[in-house]
Amino acid sequence: MPSKLDALNRWVEDVARRTRPDRVHWCDGSEAESKMLTRSMLESGDLLELNPRTHPGCHLHRSDPKDVARVEKVTLICTKDEADAGPNNHWMEPSEAHAKIDALFDGCMQGRTMYVIPYCMGPLGSPISRCGVEITDSPYVVANMRIMTRMGTAALERIEREGRFVKGQHSIGTLDPERRFIMHFPEELSIKSYGSGYGGNALLGKKCHALRIASFQARSEGWLAEHMLIVGIENPRGEITYIAAAFPSACGKTNLAMLIPPEGYRRDGWKVWTVGDDICWMTPGKDGRLYAINPEAGYFGVAPGTSMKTNPNAVKMLDHDAIFTNVAVTADNDPWWEGLDDRTPVKDWQGRDYDPKNGPAAHPNSRFTVRATQCPSWSPEAENPEGVPISAIVFGGRRESLVPLVFEARDWTHGVLVGAGMASETTAAAAGQVGVVRRDPMAMKPFCGYNYGDYFAHWLSFDQPNAKLPKIFHVNWFRKGADGKFLWPGFGDNLRVLEWMLKRINGETGATETPIGLLPDADGLDSDGLHLADGALDTLLDFDARSWQAELAAIGEYLDGYGDRLPEKLRAEQQRVTAALQQASGESAAPARKAAAS
């Protein structure tokens, strides 16, 4: 009798025939399998044991020094029509792409074991979840996929029931940066990645499947696959409101997802629940609301900067059963990175004796991989097959000036424009010039698997008569004063801004209407006990029509790059805001109008 696994078995045989591994191992996800793999990686030197007293079950992996981050220029979207990939992606024609990468895969697993990893993105019993199978010759990838996804027998059983899955083929190859490709074939629901063993290039369930392929699938199936954290805010009445938020890299997404309320808020009974820190799949429910799941089961977070000040929950979850990649180690063999504490490490991320002349001890993109359930603020709702109802979508960026601490979009269409116009200033952590404004719509620039013009149209399409869509907000934690210092304390105090959003959602506070959206009234934000500098709150909530005119012009110019794929409705919205700004600058003495509390 034909089985729904026949296609999977045939594909695995085809890949094995091409790559010629010594052995094929089907991963079952068991504890015994994990122990066996860890033992063999300790023997091969792929993993090093960390201090078992302070960090039981923790290991260090050092990647090839030339293989330390995602590489955008060799990350390709291979659609039949180049216009479907859009100017936001690097493109290659599918048959040319297959031929190029298949030649690299030829015989590449000789002498190695080929692992077959069935996995499920999202809770195993959720209709929103989707399955995939990654074939890889890297046991480090298997160990990470075991933490980051629901991997093994249960996922295989779901694949057998459904008969559909995303095919991911990966080999570390020779780790030669000149022979490295991460190719996506969204029309075939498949991924081929060769030449890198690092993070997003190799753990194919994450950025490749859960964002690039899933965003393409989501468009045709009527849902959204987004680069967003999901967090639940519990108020003193015990009501939990769920928020999804998109920020470009280096804007503190993981920190916000794991926020600890300020002392006074904690005393009053506020709590924060972490559902996800990076990816969010949202689908309309029967009641018209958007319901979200975190497709991942773990965190693959940036280590540098993570500390008891910035993210105590993260530090606490990392004291057992975690994999650290490219961090430094202390004399006690503890993992260490810049910003963690004031100890001096003895070995840097490459295993050399630490010498500050060689640069930072931990690589700036060094990572931890850890099960989501180890986070003290982990929400059991992360396992809810229905997902959690989203009441607010938050976009954000890093902007020293211009952009207020928070504003609310007037409606869904305006919110889509706010997301499409998102931008962030580059930091020292990224290669290239510092302080340059980069457009990164919905923080999806490296992850949207199709033309951004079509993506904006897809977002707009959710605005249906019966839809009960989330409110859309924009935040900027990074505004600086004339002295170059940050005006807002950030971290736990960001809850004050989220509280204002909750009040807006519940119709409990008014707001000041401006052409860019609704701003908190002077007394709208709770700043009790904050000790902000004189005038800081005024600057944080300040709106300057003339400077915003230039910003809207830049957004318009950027959007024009999507040509006739840009939805007319979005262009019209940009023009509407531009006109309102012109009017406001001509009438700058006119008082702002108060909006109703709804």
Give the footprint of ligand O2Y on this chain (CB under 6 A).
Answer: 69-70, 198-200, 249, 278, 300, 365
- Using the minimum distance from each CB to ligand O2Y, give the nearer residue, 200 or 335: 200
Q: Which does 70 bind (CB under 5 to 8 A by kind): Mn ion, ligand O2Y, none?
A: ligand O2Y
Euclidean distance between CA atoms 194 and 214, whole angstroms: 20
- Using the minimum distance from each CB to Mn ion, give the nearer residue, 228 or 417: 228
CB of 253 to Mn ion, least distance (A): 7
The neighbour count for residue 592, using CB atoms within 10 Å, is 14
Nearest to 404 by CA among 488, 323, 336, 502: 488
CB of 447 to ligand O2Y, least distance (A): 7
What is the Cα 322 distance to its own chain's centre? Answer: 20
Structural Rg of the chain based on CA atoms: 24
CB of 367 to ligand O2Y, least distance (A): 7
String of DSSP letters for 475-508: E-TT-B-TTS-BSS--GGGHHHHHHHHHHHHTT-
Q: Which does 524 bind (CB under 5 to 8 A by kind): ligand O2Y, Mn ion, none?
A: none
Euclidean distance between CA atoms 560 and 18, whole angstroms: 44
String of DSSP letters for 128-171: T-EEEEEEES-HHHHHHHHHHSEESHHHHHHHHHH---EEEEEE
Strand order in the sheet with 298-302: 48-49, 59-61, 322-325, 367-371, 298-302
Q: Which does 67 bind (CB under 5 to 8 A by kind): ligand O2Y, Mn ion, none?
A: none
Q: Which does 198 bind (CB under 5 to 8 A by kind): Mn ion, ligand O2Y, none?
A: ligand O2Y
Q: Which residue is nearest to Mn ion (CB)?
A: 278
- Using the minimum distance from each CB to ligand O2Y, give the nearer residue, 148 or 487: 148
Query: Residues, the chain, total?
Result: 598
| Range 37-76, binding Mn ion (CB under 5 A) | none
| Range 229-288, binding Mn ion (CB under 5 A) | 278
Residues 6+ apart with CB under 8 A from 476: 396, 397, 398, 399, 403, 404, 405, 406
- 566 by DSSP, 3-state: which? coil
Q: Which does 396 bind (CB under 5 to 8 A by kind): Mn ion, ligand O2Y, none?
A: none
CB of 440 to ligand O2Y, least distance (A): 10
- Using the minimum distance from each CB to Mn ion, give the nearer residue, 278 or 499: 278
Q: Which does 69 bind (CB under 5 to 8 A by kind): Mn ion, ligand O2Y, none?
A: ligand O2Y
Amino acid letter, residue 445: K
The neighbour count for residue 16, using CB atoms within 10 Å, is 16
Which one is catalytic: 251, 280, 375, 448? Answer: 251
- Using the minimum distance from each CB to ligand O2Y, give the nearer residue, 278 or 493: 278
The torsion angles phi and psi of 143, rounded to 5 degrees, stand at -60, -40
Pairing of strands 113-121, 23-26: parallel
CB of 249 to Mn ion, least distance (A): 7
Residue 440 interacting with Mn ion (CB under 5 A): no
Classify residue 489 by burial, with Cβ atoms within 10 Å: 0-12, 13-18, 19+: middle
- Using the minimum distance from each CB to ligand O2Y, give the nearer residue, 217 or 365: 365
CB of 439 to ligand O2Y, least distance (A): 16
Euclidean distance between CA atoms 276 and 227, whole angstroms: 10
**Tokens, residue 187:** 């029309």
CB of 198 to ligand O2Y, least distance (A): 5
The question of whether 280 is a catalytic residue gets the answer: no
Site size with Mn ion, rule: CB under 5 A: 1
CB of 67 to ligand O2Y, least distance (A): 10
Residue 296 interacting with Mn ion (CB under 5 A): no
Q: Which residue is nearest to ligand O2Y (CB)?
A: 199
Torsion of CA 586, 591, 595, 597, to 10 degrees: 160
Q: Which does 226 bind (CB under 5 to 8 A by kind): Mn ion, ligand O2Y, none?
A: none
- Using the minimum distance from each CB to Mn ion, give the nearer residue, 226 or 278: 278
- Using the minimum distance from each CB to ligand O2Y, give the nearer residue, 98 or 212: 212
Q: Catalytic residues, which ones?
A: 251
Residue numbers at the binding site for Mn ion (CB under 5 A): 278
